[in-house]
Amino acid sequence: ERDDADRPKLISLAMGGPPSYRLWKAVNKAEQNGVLIVAAAGNHVKTVVWPARFDSTIAVAANDVHCQPWEGTSRGNAVDISAPGHSVWRAYVEGNPNNPENIIGMSSGTTLATGNTSGAAALWLAYHRNNPKLAELQADGQVTATFRAALAASAWRPGSTEQPAGAKCEPIAWDSGKYGPGILDVAKLLEYPLDETEVTRSLEPEQLELFKGLFDDGTESAAILREYLRLFNRTSPAELAEVAQFETELMHHYALNENVAQALDALVAGQGSPDTEWLSAQARRALLQQELSTQLRTALSQ
């Protein structure tokens, strides 16, 4: 049994791609064990990638020095916070490593924004380390959900909230649906009382954990199940056993093909509307244009 002092409290993940159950189980287990995970939203793809898209992680988008969203950042309702990620100085070796001028350079990406947010997370954990409430949250697996709420409560938006000291940004129309509640403000994050940010998130695994990532937080499981079954021209929850096996392959194509992503996002956005059946047909058509397994192609064609 490892001593608690040796257990990781924070993980920073500058990686991303399609989802898998193995990856979901890993981050979910870490969350249950009180580990805070910060992950990059992704670069040069329009949708937030995994593992950042899982509820068990904090998804970080990037903004530039002018407080505008960085042009290459992934975006969407899965973003939890934006942080500086454009023209950031970082370690970099080019040519002779003994020359100091060759060991640093500028770079851009959500990797850098994730590093900045992870640093803020480390400060937050250290700041509250003597607060019994933090230990309680870690033991209950609620530290990630609580940190997410603290980020949202302390974030700032150019033009609509007070600018942090030293920031010189023009007011802009901040799109919280794409870039999260605002930009990371470390000072406000530390000032915000821990007891006022407590939330409770169910850690029990649900059906369709990967497909669920396309929906807004709080969407009922029955609605998620209904839209998944609709893709396969099925309506009864009892039929899930026949098509549940295709969830990983379906989400793989969502992550890699923009047409599939747009079609599935449209289906999710239009759930419950008169166009739902048409949107389902469009999503099936987009999927059937991909290189699918024979089994998935057959299931979608029935």
> Is the domain of 186 the same as that of 219?
no
> Is the domain of 184 the same as that of 271?
no
- What's at 114, amino acid-wise? T
Residue 202, in any domain of the structure: no
Q: In sequence order, what are the residues at sequence separation of 6 or more whose Cβ sits closer than 8 angstroms to the Cβ of residue 301?
A: 288
Q: CA nearest 151: which of 123, 117, 189? A: 189
What's the pTM? Answer: 0.86
Count how many domains the chain has: 2
Residue 220, in any domain of the structure: yes
Q: Which domain holds residue 263?
A: 211-301
> Is the domain of 162 the same as that of 225?
no
- Residue 163 confidence (pLDDT): 78
> Is the domain of 151 the same as that of 231?
no
- Residue 53 confidence (pLDDT): 94
**Domain boundary pick from 197, 221, 255:** 197
Residue 203, in any domain of the structure: no
Kindly report the CATH number assigned to the domain that includes residue 173.
Answer: 3.40.50.200
pLDDT in tens, 52-105: 999 999 999 999 988 999 999 999 999 999 999 999 888 877 777 677 666 777
Q: Interior CA angle at 242 toward 241 and 245, to 5°?
A: 80
> Is the domain of 128 the same as that of 263?
no
> Is the domain of 152 the same as that of 14?
yes
> Is the domain of 9 the same as that of 83?
yes
**Domain boundary pick from 165, 197, 229:** 197
Q: CA nearest 29: which of 58, 6, 5, 56? A: 56
- Residue 202 confidence (pLDDT): 64
- Residue 46 confidence (pLDDT): 81
Low-confidence ranges of the chain (pLDDT < 50): 1
**Domain boundary pick from 145, 171, 197:** 197
